[in-house]
Structures are given as C-alpha cells and as structure tokens.
Structure 1
C-alpha cells in the first residue's frame, strides 16, 4: 500500500530508532570484548593460562564485562537524563541565547518572520528561537522530542551573512527535520554516543593520572604500577575512540540520507532552489564550524552543515559534500553560483569540488524528491479505504492526508496574507504571556454581545497573567472581528511560544479557565471543542512526551473511530439521514464487508472526543492517512468546506501529530 511521504518518513524514523539501538548494542558488545581482551592479558598470570573464552566466564572476566557495560550505560543514561529537557536543554548546552519574540534586532526579526510564515503555512506551532552569538560560521539546527517543544538554533553568522531567501531555504530544511521525526532521533544519538565515549574518557584520565603520579614517584615498584595503569589507560583510550569511530560511522550513515531528503523538502516547500543552494554555497566558502562550544562534534549530525572538523571526512562526515548537495538541488546550479560570485567578487577564492554537471548529484535529488513528493495521483487512489467506496465518479477525490507535513503555494499565500493583515499591536500582544492568554479568552467570546462578554469574564479568578484584562481584550477583540473566520488557529500557533513560557500550574489554570468559559452557556460548539483539545494537546500534562505506537491495526481503535467520525458526520450534514449515510461511508473502510452497518453515535462529549484522539494517536504512522481521509470525507461530501469544519479537521490532524496546512475555504 502506498502512503504519502510524511507518513512514510515518520515510519522510517521510528525504524531508524530501533536500528540505532541495535547498532549501539552491537558497538557496546564489541567494546566490552575489546576491554575484556585487555583485562585478559593483564591478569593472565593470575588466570593459570585459561583460554580467553574460558576467562570471559571467570570471575575476572564477568566483573570486567559488567563494569564496562555499566560504565557505558551510565554515560548514556546521564546524558539521556540531561537532555530530558528537550530542545531548550540542547540549546543551552551549546550556549545559545533565546531570541525574544518582540526583539528589536533587524536580523532576528527577519528570522522570526521567516519562521512564523513557515509555521503557519505548515500548521506547526512556532518553534522557540535561539541564536549562538559568538559563532561566525553559518549553521543551524532544530532539537526536541516533539514538534510541540521544538527549538530552532541559528548561528550569528547565519543571521548576518544569509539573504532572506537563503535563510528561508535553511529554515525550510530544518522544518523538514521537524516533520520527519529526525529531531528525536538526533537527540537520542547524542546520548548513545556519550556512553561509547565514556570508555575513552576513562582511558585518558588513567593515562594523565599515571604520568602525573609517575613523575612524582620516580623509579619504584609503585612507579611500575603507575606505568601499568598508564598502559591500561592507553589501551582503554584507543578502544574508546575506536568505538567513537564506529559510532560516527553509524551517525553519518543515517544522517546523510536525512540531509538529502531535507534539502529536497526545502526546495519543495520554498519552490526556490536558489535559496538553499546559495546558503550551502556560502557555507562552502566561509565554513559552518561551531568553534565556541565543546559539543560541536556531538551536534554534527543535527546541524545544517558540518559543525566539527574531523579526519576521514569522507567516511565520518554526517552530511554529503557541499558540492554534491548543490548539484543534487539542480543540475548546473554550482556552476551558476560560482559564475555569480566571480562576477560580483572578482578576487574571491572559489572552493573546488565535483563537476557542475555531475550526474550522480542529479540522480540523488531525483531519488530524494521522489520519496518526498511521491506519485501523488497513484497515492491518492491507494492511501485510503475510501478510494473505491465513498466518492461519486464525477467528483474529484480530495485526499487530506497528502497535505500533511507539506507546504504548498496556497498555504504559503495564506500565511503571508494572514501576517500582513495582522495589526502591529495585535501581533505584538501575542508575543507576551498575558496577551497570548487573553487571545484564548477573546477567541471564545468574540462573537458574543458586549454585555455577555463582560459577564462571562467576571467568572474568572483574578490573576496578574491569567485573569481577565479588559485593556488587552479591547485591543484583541476588534482585530479578531476585522480579520474574519479561518484565522483563529493560525493566531494560536503564533501565540504558542508565549503560552509555552507559562509555568505548569499556570498552564493548568489557563485550561481550567477556558473550560469554564466554554461551559458558561451549557453547550459546546465545534470551535470550543477544537480550542479546548488544542490547548490540552500542546499545554496539558504530558504534552511534550513522545506518543509510542500502540496499535498496528484498526480493530482495537474502532470505538474511537466511531466517536470521531460520528461527530464529524453530524457536523458536516444538515440532516440525521444524511449524517448516517456519510458515517457509514466513512466507516466502511475500517470494518469487515459482511458486518451490519453501524448507527451514527447520538452524542459525543468533549472528554470522549479527547480520549478518542489520544487512542488514535497511538496508531502506526502508516495507518493514520486513512483516518485523516475518512475525516476529510465527512466534511467534503457535500462539495464544500466551511471554515469551522476545516478547523475541526485540522484539530484532528494536530492531535494525531499530523501537521496540516491551512486551507482557503
């Protein structure tokens, strides 16, 4: 069965995680055997000439092996725990500074504008932004376990030396890593490599200690013991760095493929190959190495370009060469960039690389693009069980799952238009905690008469940030009225960096206040359902946790599917009879052909919807497209899509970790 690129890449990232664990365990086993071999020769006189395989099962061998495994495991565990803080912890580890949303710096504002456009066009919450002030090289990376808490870090060199188009190409490349699940894989790689490095670090410590004490002790029996310790330390150092060598090989093998796919995604998202190619060309000229952090080699696989200098570059580089990447983007691009540089800077030194017409680069892009874009027509016919049952022959099939994890011209135009229509005061308020909180309240009361708005807000407890603030609402409510429908969730996405700055207790209080406003009239609208679920997913307890795959078939999640599709069928149909027809069509692909048709559920509560979405998020990535398309069928069966229907559609996709771009409806 074919699936859209987003879901394929999500599944591939999960398989890569399992593969990395296997390769890591293999490396641990080899390092343990190597250390045991050293221990065998050191204790050979005490072992009465035992063969190595017998020595391994002796007390000495078992103790040596257990110690090595414990040390490697402890090194990885300590780094794993250290990185549990997610993307922000990685950013602080390399000394990056957060960029304030309301920054006055022109270069930082340029970055924020580019990132906000990309986030709104793709349906991903705006990531938190950081800059490495002391780094003059051109580089960037994203880090985090989920898109909810992703951070994007750029160097000062990238901010100051890249044009807007080039910066957009880099940002689109990094967004691809967010979509594809690469961030989580990359952070875990740092932890796994830290454990392998532990043996080499211990060896280095033993060597330094032995030589230092050897100089003080001089020639004596203790001195010979120190020398022996130094030799053991040297052996451990060599073994440790051999382990690191193979760890880097693993890292590079996985990372190179993902970098080529991210380059192809950047071209697809921006439709401007000159942007990312120009950024790569400047890295080739000026470098992207991180010189002010000791973690440069740890971060190598995460960055846009190589962040650390290393020997055996052709083997250990986490990225294909700059020339190969540029040639893969577009045939002849490298020659054009060199010619442009020669015309604008006649004295510039050109870096040398492969021929501009290298066919291997072209084929690399073709392969990457085909995996990213896929044969859309063929996919659309096979992605969903609805393909042969639910669409009349004369109506074009709209596969919402093909839009997930993509940016198209329509969504980009929407993002640009949305941001241009936002009043400056309104937009600046969304960058503050108080303004972002008041936006949540304003979205719920904006359509009520003035007196009812005030009455609803009086029920909220006073609080410096979370209480009702009429002066801020007076600036937000008129803007919401003038902007119109279909922009409420993009506004929320813009406010997410500020909302994420709330303390856990403040987040809970915000969600409670929103629920209080929703319950005030004893009825729940589709938008109120969507808003409450959105805040629970992104700010509630466990919002930053990775959801594991729990279900590899539809059978265990049928009750959740029935509730979700029943709600959408009722929402998108004017009569109960039509709703039942739509519901049966949507469910047809998930139940056995001989099974009697189900009746549409009478009522779905807010709690039931949230529970159903949590269950459905546990599906394997390759099973999610059919659910997205079935939901899409419920709201498009009549040939039109209302803004509120699509908001609910995007909510469903968001709750299942399937970012969907906005739609002009």
Structure 2
C-alpha cells in the first residue's frame, strides 16, 4: 500500500470534510434564521412596505439567530472534541462497554484478549485496550482512538458467543487495520464535528416537551415556542441527513481497505467472510445502545439505505472475499458443529498467569488454534515468548519489573549498576522482581524485547501518573547510561516515551523549522548504516546507497560514534515536520541503507511473510471490492535466500523484519514511531 499517498489523500479528505461541515453549518444557520424571522413575524407583525422592509425590521432577529445557532453548534462540537481527547476508552464507556483485564480467566474474554494480542503483534502496534459490550447480543465491534497508543477495540457479547475463533480473529483484525490506517483518528474528529449539528434536533425536541413550555410560560403553550421547536426538529433532521452523508462518504471505501488489511494480518479470508455471513442475518448487527453517533465506526452498521449507509453492503464485502458467493446461501442455517465451536474456547486456550504469581512452566497453546491454517500459523507466535515474561506482561504488579528487565544491558557489572537504578526509581520490591525475571530468563532473544513491550503497554498505560513518570525516568537513565553501546534498551525507552506521550494526547510535538532537514536525513542514514554494518567500509557503502536512493548528492558520512543517540533524536525532530511525500524520500533512503549488500532485505512489517515478497498484498490494499483480495488470496511463491529461507506457508515470526538484525529492527521501530509511520508500511 502507498502509505504516503494515502496520507496525502487523508489530508485532502480532511480539508473537504471541514469544507462540507462548514457548508452544512451555514445551511442550518440560514434555515434557522429564516424560521426565526417567520416566528418573530407571528409575534410582532412587521410594518408594511414589502419583504425588504420586513427583513430590515428583523435584522436583529437574524443576527441573534445566526449567532446563537452557529455559536451553539461550534460550542457543542468543541465540547465533544474535548471529551474525546481522552481516547477511545471514552467512546467505549459511553456505550456501556466493560474493560477486559489482560489477565482474565473468563474463557471467552481470554480468547478475545489472545486474538487481539496476536493481531496487534502482526500489525506492529501496541496491544489496544480490550472492551466487551456485555448487554449487546448482536454481532458487532468497533475501534476508537487517536492513534495506536490510546486505541481500544470493543466487541459485543454476541460476537464472543456466536463467532468461532477464526471469525473473531477476522473481526478483530479488521478493527486493527482501522487503527493502523489512521481511520480511528479521523472517526473521532468526525464525531466531534458532527455532534453540534445533531444536537439541534435535541434542542427542538426539548422545546416541544409540554413540561418545558409550561415551566417557561406559566403552564400555557406559546405558539412561537411551539413553532420554533418544530423548526429546530426539522432542521435537526436535516443536520442528521447531512451528517449521515458525510459519514457515508468517509467510511465506505475505508471498510474495503480494512477488510483487505484483515486478510493481510490473518493470512486467510475465511474467518472474516464467515463473520460477515453471520452478521448478514436480519438484526444480527443492530446495537441496542444509541449507535447513531458511532455508526461509521462499527464493524457492520445496520441503519440507513444504500445512499446513506456508512458501510458497503455486506454481500459486496463477502463477494470481495469469496468471488462468486451466492447470497441465497445466507438463508441456510450454519452447521451445528460450527455453532458449538463458537462457545467452546477449549481447555488449551492461553490462560492468564497463575494466582501464585509468575510461573515458569511452558506456555500453553490456543485450543482452537488449528481451526484454520491461519490460526495455526498465528496462535503459536506468543508461545515463542518465555512464560515468566509473557505472564509478567499481563499482571499490573509485574509490568514495571518487566520494563526494568527489558532495559537491562549486557554484563554483570552494568546490570548491577542498573538494578540499583531500578531500586531508586521503583523501589526494593520491583528491584527484587527484576532479579527474579533475570534468574528465570537469563538471556532473552534480542528480537523478543519489543514484542514484550507491545504486550505490556496496556497495563503501562493504565499505571498511575506518578508511576508512569518514574518508569520514564528509569527508562531514560538506563538507556543513556550505557554509552551508546546498546540499541535495544534505547529502543525500548524511546518507544515507551513516544507511546505514553501519544496516549496522554501529547504525541505530536511542535514542528521544527525546515532548515537543516537534508543534514538531518544524512545523520539518520549514517546512524542506521553504522549500527547495521560492522566494518566501516560496509557502513560507508550502505550510507552512500541510502543517499542515492533519497536523491541526495554524495557526501562524507557523519561519524556518530557513541553519541549516536542524541544525534538521531535531534535529526528525527527535524524530519518529523516533513509532509508525507518528504517522508517517502526518508523511507526510500532508509530501505536502501538497510538492504545494501544483502541478498534480500525488504523492509516489510515485522512479522516477515516467509515465502512472500512479490508485494502482492501491498498492491491489493490499493484497490477496493473484489480486486482488494484477488492478490491477497494467492499463495506467495516460495523463495530461498540466506535471510529468508523458503517456506510455502505464510508463517509469521515474531519481531522479524526480513533480512534485518535485531539492532536494525529496533532502530526502524524508533524511527517509525518518531515519524508516525505505521510498521506494516515500512
């Protein structure tokens, strides 16, 4: 997928939405002003002299009506956007959803947490918060949030009980794709903008209530208030119509792209298609809660005709996944065995950590992981993680020690000094727990550090502010106290800082002026080249290749040495203000630097598609409808290289960007987070 082209289109679309929103507000103001003039004419008949004289006599009424209507819409929208700054959890809470404990013992909730973790790791984002709409027996879901760091995924109770694991996996993957694409950020903006428009009808209904009129007029209904209430109701429904038009224009194409993204993350379309078939049943996707405001965010929306529908017809989405699908098949009931699968997670589903604390036994696998080949490939991913660390990532009292463990460097002397820092920032108990983890897992594979951070982030995000401050201070001290020799602890510290800032609404820093951006790009390429290639000659050659790919003239490579961390951070601050097309040049330079002198090192998403590499899935994301899946469904051609051995099955592997070592992967993750580039499009 052309991520940067999509970013340009998203910016243009946002401007169009703002323009259409402004036109809608002006239209509503005009209608209300005319109605106010008519109502005022009923109460105080205008003098004779024609309609121009009448308008001139009512100019104060027009001004007040326009000011109150426009100001009211603007104030309501600003108030709503301020509330939504808290993140996706606000939307879930307003709909009555319950947060799911990452360490839950409930079998169905446990399966939901497992599936969400698998899909988040497959997409290269921190695990979103997980919520369940317990009072909803329909099959539906939605994602909300300003970005991956504060995103949530909410699923209805009906989806948990009626979908099989692979179907639930497809639904969750669809919502994860919305998060990766940035759709959730636009959706929250849309909610804020449209809130003021849709409140006009509520005001009219309030004025029409007999109790409201009696309170204001001593028990008698005033004709002017009655007329104004009717006008506001009519105008409010006009605003609702305009709001639905705006939401329909935004959501339809994005749903096809999210379906294609779900296929990319799960590797097979069968689960998603199965979920859509169950949702196609009458009433299967209708929420009991007031879902008008979030209709464009749902996995499937049941309101509105074809013109105003916020989603494409479900049959079209199924046909995109299964060309030649016959809608008549929807009338047939599902087999009994498939119905029973949905409510039977099985004894082997990964459970939460033991009650006694962090265990040391081997991790269990998912019960129904073998339900489909895709689930068979994805479910064992988390089993690569050592059990004590995997369990620590799900327990609130252990996530801080786990972070301390992930920040440790190499060598007994260095670790002893770092443990003293842990005790100073987090306390003696946390330091003892870090020692326990270090004893249980003396050596962790380098490419498993960042996935563990992804898994632990939901609990780190929920930590009290004082605890988060202490964690950030510890991360900064341990990352900088290693003399620039350790890339992975530095990456853990920087990713934690970026995500916590984003979750608190401070992810976007002030843009640094453009002067010096070419030098900043050279510095970034130099750091990547020096950290990825051992001989100096190889580093200089990789740096030269990166310059050429980025369209820069040859120049001597800056020597970063042990000061590469502040050099990289300073450079990224300047590059963050680049427009999407400028970031494309940065990415092309990074890719050329990383893949120089390698048989195959395509910067893909960090679950390398073994045997992939023809770019078919990226191209498939460009189109909609059936074309969005025709390439995804084709099995990739096996290829054998030293970096990516042949494997006919698309098996994901944790923490791996094909052809890059762990240090290079960590640097790419930091650069991606700082420049706000989703991992799947690196």
Deviation (angstroms), 1:89: 0.9
Give the 5 Å matches for 1:392-407: none
Deviation (angstroms), 1:436: 1.8
Give the 5 Å matches for 1:189-588: 189-209=190-210, 213=214, 223=220, 226-285=222-281, 287-289=283-285, 291-294=287-290, 296-306=291-301, 310=303, 312-334=304-326, 337-338=329-330, 341=333, 416-445=379-408, 447-449=410-412, 452-462=414-424, 469-478=430-439, 480-481=441-442, 483-540=444-501, 544-545=505-506, 547=508, 557-588=517-548
In 1, Cα distance between equivalents of 2:556 and 2:207: 71
Q: 2:565 aligns with which of 597, 606, 621?
A: 606
Deviation (angstroms), 1:543: 5.6
SS at match of 1:142: strand
List alignment gaps of at least 5 residues for structure 1. 347-408
SS at match of 1:46: coil
Q: 1:566 to 1:636 in 2, by over 3 A?
A: same
SS at match of 1:341: coil
In 2, Cα distance between equivalents of 1:74 and 1:171: 35
SS at match of 1:125: coil
In 2, Cα distance between equivalents of 1:89 and 1:587: 45
In 1, Cα distance between equivalents of 2:547 and 2:280: 53
Deviation (angstroms), 1:623: 3.1
Q: Which residue of 2 aligns with 1:100?
A: 101
CA contact (8 A) 1:121 1:662 kept: no
Give the 5 Å matches for 1:114-153: 114-153=115-154
Q: 1:226 to 1:245 in 2, by over 3 A?
A: same
Deviation (angstroms), 1:304: 0.2
In 2, Cα distance between equivalents of 1:467 and 1:274: 50
Q: Which residue of 1 aligns with 2:678?
A: 659
In 1, Cα distance between equivalents of 2:529 and 2:158: 52
Q: Which residue of 2 aligns with 1:627?
A: 586
SS at match of 2:278: helix
SS at match of 2:477: helix
Q: 1:614 to 1:118 in 2, by over 3 A?
A: farther
Q: 1:20 aligns with which of 8, 13, 17?
A: 17
CA contact (8 A) 1:146 1:545 kept: no
In 2, Cα distance between equivalents of 1:445 and 1:214: 68
In 1, Cα distance between equivalents of 2:215 and 2:126: 58
Q: 1:287 to 1:5 in 2, by over 3 A?
A: farther
TM-score (norm 2): 0.78
Q: Deviations over 1:467-526 (max 9, x none)?
A: 563542244225544652211111111111111112233222112112323344544422
Q: 1:337 to 1:275 in 2, by over 3 A?
A: farther
CA contact (8 A) 1:137 1:289 kept: yes
Q: Deviations over 1:122-164 (max 9, x none)?
A: 2111001011111101110000001111101111111111001
In 2, Cα distance between equivalents of 1:444 and 1:583: 29
In 2, Cα distance between equivalents of 1:98 and 1:542: 17
SS at match of 2:222: helix
Deviation (angstroms), 1:55: 4.4
Q: Deviations over 1:380-405 (max 9, x none)?
A: xxxxxxxxxxxxxxxxxxxxxxxxxx
Q: 1:254 to 1:551 in 2, by over 3 A?
A: farther
Say if 2:663 is the partner of 1:644.
yes
Deviation (angstroms), 1:601: 4.1
Say if 2:39 is the partner of 1:42.
yes
Q: Deviations over 1:176-225 (max 9, x none)?
A: 1111111011112222221002221221111114785299968xxxx5x7
In 2, Cα distance between equivalents of 1:302 and 1:621: 25
Q: 1:418 to 1:480 in 2, by over 3 A?
A: farther
Q: Which residue of 1 aligns with 2:609?
A: none
CA contact (8 A) 1:278 1:337 kept: no
Deviation (angstroms), 1:551: 9.2
In 2, Cα distance between equivalents of 1:606 and 1:446: 16
Deviation (angstroms), 1:273: 1.9
In 2, Cα distance between equivalents of 1:461 and 1:432: 20
